[in-house]
Structure 1
Amino acid sequence: MKKTIDIITLGCSKNLVDSEQLIRQLEASGYHVEHDPEEPQGDIAVINTCGFIGDAKEESINMILEFAQAKEEGVLDKLFVMGCLSERYLKELQIEIPQVDKFYGKFDWKGLLADLGKNYDPKLHLERSLTTPDHYAYLKISEGCDRTCSYCAIPIITGKHVSRPMEDILDEVKLLVGQGVREFQVIAQELTYYGVDLYKKQRLPELIERMAAIPGVEWIRLHYAYPAHFPYDLLRVMRENDNVCKYLDIALQHISDNMLSKMRRNVTKADTLEMIRRMRAEVPGIHIRTTLMVGHPGETEQDFEELKDFVREVKFDRMGAFAYSEEEGTFSAKNYEDEISDDVKQARLSELMDIQQSVSAEVAQRKVGTEQRVIIDRIEGEYFIGRTQYDSPEVDPEVLIKDEGQDIEIGYFYDVKISGSDDFDLYGDLI
Structure 2
Amino acid sequence: MKARTLKKDKVNIITLGCSKNLVDSEVLSGQLAANDISVVHENTKLDHNISVVNTCGFIDKAKEESINTILDQLELKRRGKLDKVYVTGCLSERYRADLEQEMPEVDAWFGTLELPLILKQFDADYKTELLGERLLSTPKHYAYLKISEGCNRTCSFCAIPLMRGQHVSKPIEQLVAEAEGLVKKGVKEIMLIAQELTYYGLDIYKKRDLPRLLNALADVKGIEWIRLHYAYPSKFPLEILDVMRERDNICKYLDMPLQHASNNMLKAMRRNITREEMGELIKTIREKVPGICLRTTLIAGFPGETEEDIEELKGFLQEHRFDRVGIFNYSHEENTSAYDLADDVPADVKAERAQSVMEMQQEISYEKNQEKIGKVFKVIIDKKEAGRYLGRTEFDSVEVDNEVVIHSTGKLAIGEFVHVRITKAYDYDIEGEVVIE
- TM-score scaled by structure 1? 0.98
Q: Secondary structure at the match of 1:197?
A: coil
Moved more, 309-318 or 133-142: 309-318
- List alignment gaps of at least 5 residues for structure 1: none
Look up the equivalent residue of 2:389 and give its one-letter code: F
Partner of 2:406 in structure 1?
A: 401
Q: Does 1:343 align with 2:351?
A: no
Look up the equivalent residue of 1:376 and give its one-letter code: I
* Deviation for aligned residue 1:101: 0.2
User: Partners of 2:124 and 2:149 in 1: how far apart?
Assistant: 26
Aligned counterpart in structure 2 of residue 211 of structure 1, from 211, 217, 221: 217
Partner of 1:78 in structure 2?
A: 84
User: Partners of 2:225 and 2:47 in 1: how far apart?
Assistant: 35
Q: Does 1:184 align with 2:178?
A: no
Aligned counterpart in structure 2 of residue 225 of structure 1, from 218, 228, 231: 231
* Deviation for aligned residue 1:182: 0.8
* Deviation for aligned residue 1:314: 1.3
Partner of 1:385 in structure 2?
A: 390
Q: Is the 8 A contact 2:382 2:391 kept in 1?
A: yes
Partner of 2:3 in structure 1?
A: none
Aligned counterpart in structure 2 of residue 354 of structure 1, from 345, 353, 359: 359
What are the equivalent positions in structure 2 for 1:222-371 lying under 5 Å apart?
Answer: 222-334=228-340, 336-371=341-376
Q: Does 1:119 align with 2:91?
A: no
Q: Does 1:64 align with 2:70?
A: yes
Change (3 A) 1:103 1:39: farther
- List alignment gaps of at least 5 residues for structure 2: 1-6
User: Partners of 1:234 and 1:257 in 2: how far apart?
Assistant: 26
User: Partners of 1:81 and 1:128 in 2: how far apart?
Assistant: 19
* Deviation for aligned residue 1:228: 0.4
Partner of 2:35 in structure 1?
A: 29
* Deviation for aligned residue 1:3: 2.7
* Deviation for aligned residue 1:18: 0.4
User: Partners of 2:412 and 2:69 in 1: how far apart?
Assistant: 38
Look up the equivalent residue of 1:422 and give its one-letter code: Y
User: Partners of 2:356 and 2:184 in 1: how far apart?
Assistant: 46
Look up the equivalent residue of 1:388 and give its one-letter code: T
Q: Does 1:13 align with 2:16?
A: no
> CA-to-partner distance for each residue in 1:288-308, whole Å, 9 max, x for gaps?
000011110111121111011
Look up the equivalent residue of 2:362 and give its one-letter code: Q
Q: Is the 8 A contact 1:137 1:185 kept in 2?
A: yes
User: Partners of 1:33 and 1:370 in 2: how far apart?
Assistant: 44
User: Partners of 2:408 and 2:79 in 1: how far apart?
Assistant: 45
Q: Secondary structure at the match of 1:192?
A: helix
How many residue pairs match? The answer is: 429
> CA-to-partner distance for each residue in 1:373-411, whole Å, 9 max, x for gaps?
00111111121111100010111111111243x141111
Look up the equivalent residue of 1:103 and give its one-letter code: W
Change (3 A) 1:2 1:412: farther
Look up the equivalent residue of 1:186 and give its one-letter code: L
Q: Is the 8 A contact 2:408 2:434 kept in 1?
A: no
Aligned counterpart in structure 1 of residue 419 of structure 2, from 415, 421, 428: 415
* Deviation for aligned residue 1:180: 1.3
Q: Is the 8 A contact 1:239 1:283 kept in 2?
A: yes
Q: Secondary structure at the match of 2:402?
A: coil
Q: Secondary structure at the match of 2:431?
A: strand
* Deviation for aligned residue 1:109: 2.3
Look up the equivalent residue of 2:405 and give its one-letter code: L
> CA-to-partner distance for each residue in 1:254-309, whole Å, 9 max, x for gaps?
11111110000000111100000011111010000000111101111211110111
Q: Secondary structure at the match of 1:306?
A: helix
Q: CA RMSD in A?
A: 1.0
User: Partners of 2:422 and 2:112 in 1: how far apart?
Assistant: 43
User: Partners of 1:325 and 1:408 in 2: how far apart?
Assistant: 43
Q: Secondary structure at the match of 1:133?
A: coil
Q: Secondary structure at the match of 2:47?
A: coil
* Deviation for aligned residue 1:38: 3.4
User: Partners of 2:44 and 2:159 in 1: how far apart?
Assistant: 30
User: Partners of 1:379 and 1:234 in 2: how far apart?
Assistant: 35
Aligned counterpart in structure 2 of residue 108 of structure 1, from 95, 103, 114: 114
User: Partners of 2:87 and 2:241 in 1: how far apart?
Assistant: 40
Look up the equivalent residue of 1:426 and give its one-letter code: I
User: Partners of 1:167 and 1:236 in 2: how far apart?
Assistant: 22
Q: Secondary structure at the match of 1:196?
A: coil
* Deviation for aligned residue 1:39: 6.0
User: Partners of 1:230 and 1:236 in 2: how far apart?
Assistant: 13
Change (3 A) 1:2 1:388: farther
User: Partners of 1:40 and 1:19 in 2: how far apart?
Assistant: 18
Q: Does 1:426 align with 2:418?
A: no
% identity of equivalent residues: 52
* Deviation for aligned residue 1:310: 1.2
Look up the equivalent residue of 1:429 and give its one-letter code: E
* Deviation for aligned residue 1:94: 0.6
Look up the equivalent residue of 1:16 and give its one-letter code: L
Moved more, 304-313 or 13-22: 304-313
Q: Is the 8 A contact 1:323 1:349 kept in 2?
A: yes
User: Partners of 2:150 and 2:32 in 1: how far apart?
Assistant: 25
Q: Is the 8 A contact 2:407 2:434 kept in 1?
A: no
Q: Is the 8 A contact 2:408 2:433 kept in 1?
A: no
- TM-score scaled by structure 2? 0.97
